Structure 1
Amino acid sequence: MNERTPLGDTTGLWQAVLAAAAGRCQCRGTCGKKHDKDGGRCPAAQGGYARHGTGPVHMLAAPADPDGLLLPAHRAAALPKRELAAWCPACHDATRRRALAARRAAAEPAEPDALF
């Protein structure tokens, strides 16, 4: 391991996902941004800077499917490489929030308990 490998990545999975993504966030707008200036893909790259005044970007290997971001951690950790994508923290968090909001909106409202 080196300084770019997250702690706990003993299998090299994070490195493999990052290499497949060429070190760049694979979000194509699921976060709510169009990423128009960069051909429809997020410009954030491992070790780069997302905005002026922020620290370096540390990419995440997480489920590629936005609904997969809602999986419990133990199930997400068991996914194969082909089902993972590289995410910058900003796109990951925004996509997860949007997926959670969509799931809540799709859920049927609970019927109130009858008082009588």
Structure 2
Amino acid sequence: MSGPPPLALAGLWLAVITTAGNQCQCTGACGKSHAKDSGRCGREHGGYQQHHGCGTVRLLAAPAEPADLLLPPHHAAALPKQALAAWCPTCHDAALRLARKAAQAAAPAAPDALFDI
């Protein structure tokens, strides 16, 4: 494994990343099919990222379910290891954006208070 673990919860992060085989576990929640990588994002921790900012890939341990990405940080931090997945920053950010968009679409429209009497 290349690169140091994060400062907080290093043991949990290491367990998630090791279970993932040091590879992003996104299988399409980011909106991409990852078809070139056999259906799973091919980015590896410590590997080189050729697009989207370039540089070294640093995987994140975050909720595996895209809807859980919307949890407040203190709830997400309390999730068990089995509910977490390894995400590259690009897939994580895209999946979070899509989860927010889905949550907004599912929320009932607020009435226009300007015309309420």
Task: Evaluate the alpha carbon distance shift between residue 71 and residue 115 of structure 1 in structure 2; reply closer, same or farther with a 3 A threshold.
Answer: closer
Structure 1 runs (4+) deviating above 3 angstroms are none
Shift of 1:23: 0.2
Contact in 1 for aligned 2:62/2:86 (Cα 8 Å): yes
Count of residue pairs brought into register by the alignment: 114
Amino acid at match of 1:51: Q
Where does residue 68 of structure 1 map in the other structure? 68
Preserved contact between residue 3 and residue 46 of structure 2 (Cα < 8 Å):
no
Q: Are 2:42 and 1:35 aligned?
A: no
Q: Which residue number corresponds to residue 80 of structure 1? A: 80
Gaps of 5+ in 1: none
Give the secondary structure class of the aligned counterpart of 2:50: coil
Q: Which runs of 5+ in 2 are unaligned?
A: none
What is the DSSP-based 3-state SS (H/G/I as helix, E as strand, rest coil) of the residue aligned with 1:57?
coil
Residue 21 of structure 1 corresponds to which residue in structure 2? 20
Aligned: 1:89 with 2:89:
yes
Cα distance between partner residues in 2 of 1:63 and 1:14: 12
Counterpart-to-counterpart distance in 2, 1:109 and 1:3: 45
TM-score normalised to the size of structure 2? 0.91
Identity of aligned residues (%): 54
CA-CA distance at 1:3 after TM superposition:
4.7
CA spacing shift, 1:42–1:3, aligned 2, 3 Å: closer
Which region of structure 1 is more displaced relative to structure 2, 43-52 or 64-73?
A: 43-52
Q: CA RMSD in A?
A: 1.6
SS at match of 2:44: coil
